[in-house]
Chain A
Amino acid sequence: MTTITVTVNGIRYTSEVEPRLLLVHYLREHLNLTGTHIGCDTSQCGACVVHINGVSVKSCTTLAVQCDGAEITTIEGLSSDGQLHPLQEGFWEKHGLQCGFCTPGMIMAAADLLKRNPNPTEEEIRHGLEGNLCRCTGYENIVRAVRYAAEKMAAAQAAD
């Protein structure tokens, strides 16, 4: 067993974990943050994407012990003060989800994409989300949702 200290969604946790414990299992089983999902066993689907120190990472291929000292944000920590993140709003407005299983990972990956490229074209969004699979939407409305968020965030920044 190894002791790790991590900050998840602003809360500090110190835990005893097996060295082989995957981050996704740590989040889901130890911290009960079940919004981060597992959709594959080969790191393809991206349902498990979270942010580690502000960067999107697949938590199914990260060991919990690698995150000692890190700041982690999961889908549960994306909205603040009861306000939806513009991406959450975009996915709702544009019907960017159906079954919702891929959605947390998709939103977390898109949040990182918009950080790197605040005004992506349709093609840049499609390529930027290549690490995440959705089987329901055909991606059309996911692209619209990300565009909605980009525009909303740009408008908010212009207003500041």
Chain B
Amino acid sequence: MTATEMKERLVGRALKRREDPKLITGHGNYLDDIKLPGMLHIALVRSPYAHAKIVSIDASKALAMPGVVAVFTGKDMLDINPMPAAWQAAGVKNYPVPPRALAVDKVALVGDPVAMVVAENRYIARDAADLVEVEYEPLPAVVDARKAVEPGAPQIHEAAPNNIVFEWECGNKDAADAAIASAEVVVKEEIINQRLIPTPMETRGSIARYDPLTGEWTVWMTSQAPHVHRLLLTAFVFGVPETKLRCIAPNVGGGFGQKIFCYNDMAFTMWAARKLGRPVKFVEDRSENYKYSTHGRDHITEAELAGTRDGKITGLRVKTWANIGAYFSTVAAGIPTTLYGRIITGVYKIPAAYVHVTGAYTNTAMVDAYRGAGRPEASYLIERMVDRFAAEIGMDPAEVRRKNFIQPEDFPYDNGLGLLPYDSGNYEPALNKALEIAGYAEFRKQQEELRKQGRYLGIGISSYVEICGIAPSAWMGGQGWGAGLWESANVRVHLTGKVVVTTGSLPHGQGLETTFAQIVADELGVPYEDVEIQWGDTQGTPFGYGTYGSRSLAVGGVAIKRSVDKIKEKARKLAAHLLEANEADIVFENGRAYVKGSPDKGKTIGELAAAAAVAYNLPPGMEPFLDETSYYDPPNCTFPFGTHVSIVEVDPETGHVKLLRYIAVDDCGNQINPLIVEGQIHGGIAQGLAQALYEGAVYNEDGQLLTGTLMDYAVPTAAMVPHIETDHTVTPSPVNPLGVKGAGEAGTIASAQCVMNAIIDALAPFGVKHLQMPATPERIWKAIHGK
């Protein structure tokens, strides 16, 4: 390659993923694939009651079984602290009661672990767990967040009077009250965002090994954030130096938020490994995952939206009860506050808005971040209310949206709810594009015609904005987040010219190895194959807060770019020295440094790396090696947006919904790998439309989880998801030098209301104004028949 030939840029290209060959041949390395010499297996004894006192535990029969090594209860583990409550609601009093490794004295949900059996294999452990006799004294239970905070409700924790976790508010109450009191039109609705179970296909678990000579643990974990888990488990749970624990996330089989949190099994495997001097493994089965690992959503909301007859929205008042579950999960309070209330007005300029949220303990599984985390709840609420308002004033819902959109010239836009300003956006082109693909005007005519024939089609629009690349640390600190949110990266160019990147970000399906390598190859001008991305092991990667909140490109990826920039800066100095030129005259392109005007005389990045590594001839004062680390804390979050449109047909005889078309137009800023972006959008949409049509975690009044397995909880199959049509607009983010925003959660944030709006549009002739999710045939049939 001569200096004038341009290396083909990889950023923007739909490269297939470099992480796939081992995964498609069965050579991935997931947690349960790991076997250690002498490893023992744990089975838990879990409470069958939602709320009860533990009267006694008798493990004698279990202990007598051959192959059983030990049985432990919560009282054995009082020497370690409960799990940390890391993100509390900002500016108000919180009553955090996080779980302990095992329950002590009482249980607060079905599945609460009361004892653990450690045995030579998993079959023996499970058999012996059945022999542990536990006597309980059942107590009354409560599963509904609004009922839990009413007077007379069963009290779950002494430390949390009236089951209240926090009461939080944002916005301007007086202004919202006034806007609603004086409005021409007010629509009011009770909106339930039902509880969902994230359901990564791999359940969760931990393997711990302890070295008594050094006092050090190694823990393999199904984790989206191993550095954070290392910090929390050492500094907060065990009270030992951080350096005593190495956390490794191997291949992780999906997370969707559920694997962000610090769980009891991380602690009890560490505790048991230390106690027994042998490695121990715990892996949930699916029904354990459903009972005890975190769930998502579960809001009950009373919403009022005010506006004028000609379609201007003038006010919004929202009162939400957020179910937190039986205990305080790691970042539980941040989700229904900062990530929900502060973006409640969505893509609209609403002059007066107010949100009040009550977080409540109930006798159910803990609720924490699930894909989208707060933003799907906000987006569902505002988009349903806008449609409800459009129907009330008899205006086209697309027109109401256009009338109230934040305009391109309004950015950076402060929504007045205590959020950082929206970075950039141009909402109408995305809406128009989606409507054009859908053939909106034509559809409306066809809809009218078909209604005359007794066929009920509907079209749903969802225009959304979300908060991604969550940071900066200084702002998040003020939001009650108990740490920073920067990311770091180290880039080294080895003597052979091969580049190794270590990152604290942690891919578990997002294809970050591929995306990051595309960026580095372009920025450094080296072959893509020469770039290796390493992650997942706290020994050997710099600190990172982890992969969630669609932040690994906009924060973690930018940290990598900045390290590459530093490498180039040093290489430029070295090139100037070796080529005997002024640094200012060095041109760096296509991985080669040369003197301006003499492109034939130059040094490749590989040659410079070798020169830096052997260090025979360095400029005075320069240290050997091209090795740079960056800590990147962005100045703002990023705000992806878009519009989704869906078309449904409802059978009025059966209440069955057929999803005829699903169209997604998303704007996540610049795209590094469009193949991966599209895949993220597809997957997100499937989860959101599943909320609209199929999924819902159901507890009975006694706190029994009725949807406790995949037989009862309706994760959709391929036949239940339609073909998805995707397109995009590109509005680069001004926040970071890559111009990226994030794409991991957009599909989920946009889709539930998109499908619900279509169904309710289809049902308009029956006078249906709102319907709770999931829109099952039964629920639709009842709505049609006024039951």
Q: Which residues of A contact B (CB under 8 A)?
A: 18, 20-21, 28, 32-42, 44-45, 47, 74-76, 78-79, 84, 88, 91-93, 95, 97-104, 107, 122-123, 125-127, 129-143
Contacts and interface: CB of A to CB of B under 8 A. Distances in A.
A123 B252 CA distance: 30
A40 B709 contact: yes
A101 B287 CA distance: 18
Interface stretch (B198-206, B225-233, B434-442): B198-206
For the complex, would chain B's binding face be called helix, strand, loop or mixed by DSSP majority? Answer: loop
Given A92-B21, A101-B202, 9 more contacts: A28-B32, A36-B26, A45-B201, A75-B26, A76-B26, A91-B20, A95-B676, A99-B201, A139-B718
Given A107-B24, A140-B724, A99 B253 contact: yes
B717 A138 contact: no
A135 B715 contact: yes
A103 B679 CA distance: 15
B685 to A, nearest CB: 6
Query: Which of B19, B21, B687, B723 has the most CB atoms of chain A within a 10 A radius of its CB?
Result: B723
A136 B33 CA distance: 21
B26 A91 contact: no
A100 B24 contact: yes
Contacts of A21: 123
B503 interface: no
B623 interface: no
Contact of A103 (B24, B685, B723): B24
Contact of A129 (B20, B256, B682, B718): B718
Nearest to A145: B24
Interface stretch (B321-329, B330-338, B505-513): B505-513
A155 B302 CA distance: 59
Interface in B559-613: none
A98 B285 contact: no
B528 to A, nearest CB: 16
Contacts of B717: 126, 129-133, 139
Contact of B510 (A36, A98, A132): A98
A135 B200 contact: yes
Nearest to B255: A99
Contacts of B686: 137-139
A78 B200 CA distance: 25
A84 B676 CA distance: 22
Contact of A44 (B23, B33, B711, B718): B711
Given A76-B26, A104-B26, A135-B687, A130 B719 contact: yes
Contacts, number: 183
Interface residues of B, number: 57
Contact of A133 (B33, B201, B678): B201
Contacts of B509: 98-100, 136
Contacts of B32: 28, 34, 37-38
A109 to B, nearest CB: 10
Given A75-B25, A91-B20, A135-B254, A99 B721 contact: no
B697 interface: no
Given A47-B201, A143-B718, A37 B16 contact: no
B406 to A, nearest CB: 29
B251 interface: yes
B723 A135 contact: no
B319 interface: no
Given A138-B686, A142-B718, A122 B254 contact: no
8 contacts: A38-B32, A40-B285, A42-B709, A76-B25, A100-B509, A136-B679, A138-B683, A142-B718
Interface in B723-771: 723-724, 747
B17 interface: yes
B443 interface: no
Nearest to A44: B710
Contacts of B679: 95, 98, 136-137, 141
A88 B22 CA distance: 10
B683 A137 contact: yes
Contact of A135 (B26, B256, B286): B256
Nearest to A141: B679
A41 B287 contact: yes
A135 B675 CA distance: 18
A102 B201 contact: yes
Given A44-B711, A99-B253, A130-B719, A37 B202 contact: yes
B511 A39 contact: no
B723 A140 contact: yes
B472 interface: no
A8 to B, nearest CB: 12
Given A34-B33, A135-B254, A137-B679, A103 B23 contact: yes
B20 A37 contact: no
A35 B254 contact: no
A37 B687 contact: no
Nearest to A137: B683
Report, nearest first, the 3 A-B pairs whose CB atoms are least far apart.
Answer: A35-B26, A101-B253, A100-B23
Contacts of A75: 24-26
Nearest to B717: A130
A95 B123 contact: no
Given A36-B26, A39-B201, A84-B25, A98 B683 contact: yes
A113 B287 CA distance: 29
Contact of B685 (A37, A76, A84, A138): A138
B286 A79 contact: no
A18 to B, nearest CB: 7
B675 A95 contact: yes
Contacts of A123: 719
B746 to A, nearest CB: 13
Interface in B481-503: none
A107 B686 CA distance: 20
A39 B31 CA distance: 12
A99 B710 contact: no
B23 A74 contact: no
Contacts of A134: 201, 718
Contacts of B286: 39-42, 45
A135 B201 contact: yes
Interface in B404-430: none
Given A39-B286, A41-B287, A76-B25, A137 B682 contact: yes
Contacts of A135: 199-201, 254, 256, 683, 687, 715
Contacts of B715: 133, 135
